[in-house]
Amino acid sequence: MKISIFVGDVWKFNQLIANHLKKQNHEVTFIDSSIINFAYKNNSQRFKNFFTKTFLKKNIKTNFRNNELVKIINNLPYQDYILIINPDDFSQEVVNLLRTKTTKYVAHNYDCLARHPLPKNYAELFDKIFSFDIQDVKDYHYLNLLNNYIYVEKNPDTNPKNKMFMILSKSSEREIVLNKIANILDRKNINNYEFIVAYPDVTNVNKNIKLINYTISLQGVAEKVKNAEILIDLVRSNQSGLSFRFFEAMAFHKKIITNNKNVKLFDFYNPNNILIIDDNITDIDDDFLNNTYEPVPENIYKKYTIEAWVKTILNV
């Protein structure tokens, strides 16, 4: 089957989907809009873009990326299936043009509609729309729940170096909660934890939280996850879907501390492995900190693999 995937794959999770489809002998075209980069010819052009972007709401770089995508689509042979991830990341022109290139056109919102709304003509565009956001799926009948997936081989580390690990990108509400957790660990004399915030909103934080202005590769994050006993997962206030941390945890046999109460709805939920907190956390239960991980039953584990994810999204 000829399959195309269009996505701004900043974290490189979606490349793994393309790789899996290729292993199944599909003919895959993977278009990552995040690597279509515009280079200024000179400082004059850079200044012009600043002016037009600020005052006229026109961005040379955005227009360049859109024009490149239009060229790619115009040259794309007719496809059996096109998957577009977070359609809101693309112009209406691009989203509409893709409809003319395929028999089956499917969207997946890896975000909540509040942050990434669908195109206004979604009903006539897409044959099916998936979302990872649990509340959105409850509220909007046209959305179908599709969680994240286990993207690594099962490989538990029985002797991790760190007690806890967390990485997040700028989000003041989550950074404040993470700071509270760091302070709790300090009071308990637990100092072997690694907390990282990329491009932080809040800089006055616990000295053991590392603030960075760059991203860490998916492979780098996976290694840090594997090297910790407990993972921290903090959800944004307007999101309800489960992050990749839960699925990494199943593969690497890690416990999780989370403020996402929706995890209780899932069949892999086990209070021995998953501690649910609120944003006003003042302590962490010592029993949870000290108990050992209980592996998820194999029949449940398989439901959340990348193999199961691909099967679901192709079954349209």
Residue 78 sits in the same domain as residue 170: no
Total domain count for the chain? Answer: 2
- According to the model, what pLDDT value does residue 10 have? 85
The answer to the question of residue 97 being in a domain is yes
Residue 171 sits in the same domain as residue 213: yes
Residue 183 sits in the same domain as residue 136: no
The answer to the question of residue 239 being in a domain is yes
The answer to the question of residue 308 being in a domain is no
Q: 35: domain CATH number?
A: 3.40.50.2300
Q: Give the end of a domain, one of 112, 146, 180.
A: 146
Residue 21 sits in the same domain as residue 107: yes
- According to the model, what pLDDT value does residue 146 have? 97
Residue 176 sits in the same domain as residue 256: yes
Residue 8 sits in the same domain as residue 131: yes
- According to the model, what pLDDT value does residue 48 have? 55
The answer to the question of residue 195 being in a domain is yes
Q: Which two tokens stand for residue 191?
A: 């100092």
The answer to the question of residue 38 being in a domain is yes
Residue 80 sits in the same domain as residue 175: no
For residues 13 and 128, what is the distance between their CA atoms, to the nearest angstrom? 21
Tens of pLDDT along the chain (316 residues)?
A: 999 999 998 888 999 999 999 999 999 999 999 999 766 566 655 655 555 655 545 677 788 999 999 999 999 999 999 999 999 999 999 999 999 999 999 999 998 999 999 999 999 999 999 999 999 999 999 999 999 999 999 988 778 999 999 999 989 999 999 999 999 999 999 999 999 999 999 999 999 999 999 999 999 999 999 999 999 999 988 889 999 999 999 999 999 999 999 999 999 999 999 999 999 999 999 999 999 999 999 999 999 999 999 999 999 8
Q: Give the end of a domain, one of 146, 171, 198.
A: 146
- According to the model, what pLDDT value does residue 168 have? 95
The answer to the question of residue 202 being in a domain is yes
Structural domain of 180: 162-303
Q: Give the end of a domain, one of 146, 181, 203.
A: 146
Residue 188 sits in the same domain as residue 125: no
- According to the model, what pLDDT value does residue 41 have? 62
- According to the model, what pLDDT value does residue 316 have? 81
For residues 59 and 74, what is the distance between their CA atoms, to the nearest angstrom? 23
Contact at 8 Å (CB) between 177 and 278? Answer: no
Residue 208 sits in the same domain as residue 277: yes
For the entire predicted model, the pTM comes to 0.90
Residue 139 sits in the same domain as residue 166: no
CA 229, chain centre distance (Å): 22
Residue 261 sits in the same domain as residue 131: no
Q: 233: domain CATH number?
A: 3.40.50.2000
Residue 174 sits in the same domain as residue 254: yes
